[in-house]
Structure formats: structure tokens, C-alpha cells
Structure 1
Amino acid sequence: MKLNGVADLPEIRPGDDIAALVAERAALEPGDVLTVASTIVSKAEGRTADLADYPVSGRAQEIADRIEAVAGEEKDPRFAQAVLEESTELLIDCPFLLAETRFGHIAPNAGVDRSNVPDHDLLLLPKRPSESAKRIRAGLAQQGIEDVAVIVTDTCGRSFRHGQRGVAIGWAGMPASRDWRGEHDRDGHELGVTVQSVVDELAAAANLVTGEGAGGTPAVVVRDWEFGDHAGSNELFRAVEDDFVRQALREWSFDDT
């Protein structure tokens, strides 16, 4: 498998055609996977905002005051309001915000970011990242580039571990997961639970190439990777009834006494 960053992409502005910009700079081939950072997808879709856009509710003020008391640093209640408006559920409200986005992804601050936004205060995640991936894939087809899968990626922290890694938040042209259930290991034992989240694994691999901070490269071409002869699944975000961690968090509250 080879991963190559797409060099010299310009600063993305609302309305920019990401597919066309990538096609001009990368010799894509059938079977490739194109990973695109959600940062530039959001910019192209105009998903920027200013703190002044968010009148503060009582809930947001309460959240900001409590986090400020616990962390000892000022928390802008307008930022808390932005997170609330981008969320369907707030799983943790102190000492940080952990929220479910409207498309099912769970992330700190519902993915609301304050970095790499030169003209605004905030960058929001795409509203429907899998639809964004479909549009980019269709745009590549219009450029004469067929059979390229697209993954929209983000960086996210991990429970029980330090550090962040790339994850998929949207995808098109390939299943999200490779289902090994019913297949056998080398000793002939049937696999009963193994489902491999390949879109997440490709997103994490691409993140090694994209980098972070000021030197980031927001698009990566993955080549010579094959899904293989396996069943596929588009399930990525765990359903509430099967998510025991989320169920436990609903019963938990931070004790700052």
C-alpha cells in the first residue's frame, strides 16, 4: 500500500470544487482511495462561524461557568453554545464537552474547531460527511476519474489512550467495514465477532501523511490497497442500544467537590 499527499492545494474557500482541485494535482487511478480532511470539506461548504453568531443560553452559561471553575481558565459560553447547537446529545459536560454530532459521530466539542480558520472564529464539521464524500466522488467522475473511493477524515482523541489519530466521519464508494465473521483463522476456528473498520484504519494511515498544525496536507491518495473477498458493512457508529459506554455515561456525572 502506498500513501501520497496531494501537494500544493490552495487555501480552500466557500464554493471551491475539491474534486477538481485534487484532480489537477494528483494522477488518480481506478481503485485508489482519496482521503480528504474534514477541514477543507467544511471550508468548501461554508461551515464556518463566529462566536457572535451564538446568543448564549442558560445551559451554555452554566456549562462554561462550571468548566471554568474546575479547570481554572476562562471558558467562552458562546463556544459552549456552538457545541450545543451542533449536538444531538451531550454525553459529558464537565470537565470537557463530549457530544454526539447530528450525523452520529461522538467527539469532544462535537468537532467544533478553533484552528486553521483564518477569517472566522470557528470551523464546524460538515453537516453530512458521507454526502460530502459522495459529491467529491461524483466530481471526480465528472473529471473522468472513475472508481475512486472517498473518505472524509477528522482527528479525534481516544478513550483510555493519550493522543489523537485520524478517523473516518464520512465515506463513499466502499463499505465502512470488512466483516470477517464466518471466516476462519489459521487454526480453523470460525471468527464470530471480528469486524474491521477499514475506513477508520485508512483514515489513521493517511493522517501519518497529512500531518498536523501549520504544515498539514489535507488530501492523501491511497494506492494498492484492496478490500478483498469479504462481506462489507456500512455500519460505523454504534447504535445506542449496543453502546454500553454511552449508556454508562448517561448515568455518570463529574464530581468536582
Structure 2
Amino acid sequence: MSLTVSAPDGVPEIRPGDDLADALLGALGPDDLVDGDILVVTSKVVSKAEGRVESGDRESWIDAETDRLVARRGPTRIVRNRLGLTMAAAGVDASNVEQGLVVLLPLDPDASARRLRSAVAERRGVNVGVVVTDTAGRAWREGQTDIAIGAAGIAVLESFAGRLDAHGNELAVTAPAVADEIASAVELAQGKLGARPCAVLRGRADLVLAPGDAGPGASALIRADGADLFGYGAREAVIQAVAARPAARAPFGSTVDAEEFVAALGRAGIAAHAATPVDVRTPRERRAAADIVAFAHGWESAGASDLDTHLRFRPVTP
């Protein structure tokens, strides 16, 4: 198997209202886009063409695009934005734009990808997949990579479920996020400062869907809130558990069973009996700790006062 990535020069500066497909195709020669290719475009030019360029204070726009705070370190905010993406500054970007302006992410990146795919099919008569990308950091790793935030006509996950390796072992990784891998590979050719906002990846026609089949879109790569093991950063998780606001429960995940809850209490130095309700006898100075552990695991005290040291915990009603 061989892959090629071509990132053309010559794409003009995109402004609100511009025909993005026309601008991109103008930089691609007649042989630069054929059936089975994957056209990859940065979210920034998509946003510019769709008029997602705004004036005003960047911090205010981050607030407006934020669904909830995930973590904070100094001035840096990692948030879950209105698209469900977890990223720094909600994806609000003040680079490669005139001073005083910011670029917001597209309102619906999957829909943007579908429109671009349809335009390419109409004007060039070819069936391609389309990926819209943005840059994101990774937990546990330095640096950033590009990821897919929009997609059309492409399988975004490649399932290996049930397949065996050469030694007969069932593969443990069952669904590589190929749309993200494509986004990252293409960014190497585009470059951050190269003024090349689109690229064509050739060699994975097996991922491109039939005409008329848009596929699941990149939104299929977003885990539901609470399904991720890292719904909050370390410090923010402590704050949310101590504050114990009911609306903050979801990112901690679903309620654990009694055995797992008792084990968590034990790791916090609090003895308990694995039953429902869970009985806890704790010194008064450890009462608050028991409530905090309970909140983070989807449990709550059953009618105890703040002074009680014999507590009974029950799972929160879904």
C-alpha cells in the first residue's frame, strides 16, 4: 500500500461569503482529484467562508462557545464546546486573521463537509471523501496534532473487530480513528505557516463511501459526556466533587455499583460495608471526605445530618 498527500499552493485568502469549493478547486489541477481521493480542508477556511469571523474580546467568545469547563491551568482553559469537542479555548482562534477578529468553528462541520463533497461531485464529476480538520492537544503528550471535526463520504472509524493477527491473536484495537489519522498525516504536507489550507490524500479509496452516502460524520468520534474517563481535569474534578452541584454529575460517568463504591471509599481511607444502602462509620472529620467520594461515584447520603458519623449511602436515581 502507498499513500500520497498533495497540498497545493495558490488558494486565495478566503473571506465571508466566498465560494469555498471554487477557491479550492481552482488550486487543484484536473488530475489532482479523482474518484476515491480524500479532500482535507482546515476548519479555518470553512469558518471564514461561512462567516464565522467575529469581532470582540476572545475570552467572551470562548465563554459563548463553551458548554462546560473541563480543566484550567492559569489563563488556559480546556473546555467541552457546543460541538462536544474537548479542546483549548473552545476552538476560538485569533491567528491568521486580522487583529481584533476571531474565527469560530463552523456551526456544523459535518454539514460543511457534506456541502463541499456535493460541490466537488457536481463540478468535477468525482466521488471523494471530505474531512474538515482542526488542531487539538492530547492528554499525556506534548504538542498538538490535527483531528477531524467534520467528515462526509468517508468511514471515520475502521473496524477490526473479530480479526486475527498473523499469530492467531484477536486484535485488541478494534476501531482505529482513521479520520483523525488522515487529518494528522495531511497536516504534515500543509504546514502551519504554509498557507495551504487544503490537501488531497490518495491511496485509501477503501474508506470512501458510495455517492449519496455521507456516512456517520466526524461527530461519531465524539464520546458522550460522561463516557470519557477524563470528564474533568484533576484539579477541576476536586472542585466539582466538593461543590457537589447536581448539574456537574454527568461528566463523572454513570453510577458505579456498591462493590466499586466501597472500594473507592477504601482507597480514600474510609471503611464501608458493600450493601445497598452502603453503611459507613467514620470519624466526624472524615464525613466530608465520604460525601465527596460518593458524589464522584454517583452515590449520595440517605437523609443524614452534617454531624452524623454513621452514614448510609444510596445510588443517585438516574
TM-score (norm 1): 0.81
| Identity in percent | 36
For 2:89, give the aligned amino acid. N
Aligned positions, number:
225
Tell me the residue number matched to 1:8.
Answer: 10
Q: Aligned ranges for residues 90-239 of structure 1 at < 5 Å?
A: 90-95=69-74, 96-118=76-98, 120-213=100-193, 215-227=194-206, 235-239=220-224
Q: For 1:228 and 1:14, locate their aligned partners in 2 and report how far apart those are by CA, in whole Å.
A: 32
Aligned match of 1:34 in 30, 39, 42? 39
User: Cα distance, 1:253 vs. partner?
Assistant: 4.6
Comparing 176-185 and 196-205, the one that deviates more? 176-185
User: Cα distance, 1:84 vs. partner?
Assistant: 1.4
State the structure with more CA Rg. Answer: 2
3-state SS of 2:206 partner? coil
Q: Aligned ranges for residues 47-58 of structure 1 at < 5 Å?
A: 47-51=52-56
Q: For 1:241 and 1:183, locate their aligned partners in 2 and report how far apart those are by CA, in whole Å.
A: 29
1:87 aligns with 2:66: yes
User: Cα distance, 1:228 vs. partner?
Assistant: 6.3
For 2:116, give the aligned amino acid. I
Asked whether the equivalents of residues 48 and 120 of structure 1 are also in contact (C-alpha less than 8 Å), the reply is no
Q: For 1:220 and 1:245, locate their aligned partners in 2 and report how far apart those are by CA, in whole Å.
A: 33
Structure of higher RCO (CA pairs closer than 8 Å, 6+ residues apart) = 1
For 1:12, give the aligned amino acid. I
Q: Quickly say closer, same or farther: Cα 1:134–1:119, change in 2 above 3 A.
A: farther
Q: For 1:142 and 1:120, locate their aligned partners in 2 and report how far apart those are by CA, in whole Å.
A: 37
Please list every run of 5 or more consecutive structure 2 residues that lacks an aligned counterpart in the other structure: 209-214, 241-318
Tell me the residue number matched to 1:245.
Answer: 230
User: Cα distance, 1:13 vs. partner?
Assistant: 0.8
Asked whether the equivalents of residues 53 and 104 of structure 2 are also in contact (C-alpha less than 8 Å), the reply is yes
Please list every run of 5 or more consecutive structure 1 residues that lacks an aligned counterpart in the other structure: 52-77
3-state SS of 2:231 partner? helix
Asked whether the equivalents of residues 13 and 44 of structure 1 are also in contact (C-alpha less than 8 Å), the reply is yes
Asked whether the equivalents of residues 185 and 191 of structure 1 are also in contact (C-alpha less than 8 Å), the reply is yes
Q: For 1:228 and 1:101, locate their aligned partners in 2 and report how far apart those are by CA, in whole Å.
A: 28
3-state SS of 2:131 partner? strand
Q: For 2:175 and 2:110, locate their aligned partners in 1 and report how far apart those are by CA, in whole Å.
A: 20
User: Cα distance, 1:119 vs. partner?
Assistant: 6.4
For 2:15, give the aligned amino acid. R
User: Cα distance, 1:120 vs. partner?
Assistant: 4.6
Per-residue Cα deviation, 1:121-151 (whole angstroms, up to 9, x for no partner): 2111111111110111111112033311000
Asked whether the equivalents of residues 153 and 168 of structure 1 are also in contact (C-alpha less than 8 Å), the reply is yes
TM-score (norm 2): 0.66
Q: For 1:9 and 1:45, locate their aligned partners in 2 and report how far apart those are by CA, in whole Å.
A: 16
For 1:43, give the aligned amino acid. K
Per-residue Cα deviation, 1:79-104 (whole angstroms, up to 9, x for no partner): 32211111211112442111112122
Q: For 1:186 and 1:142, locate their aligned partners in 2 and report how far apart those are by CA, in whole Å.
A: 43
Q: For 2:49 and 2:128, locate their aligned partners in 1 and report how far apart those are by CA, in whole Å.
A: 20
Moved over 6 A (4+): none
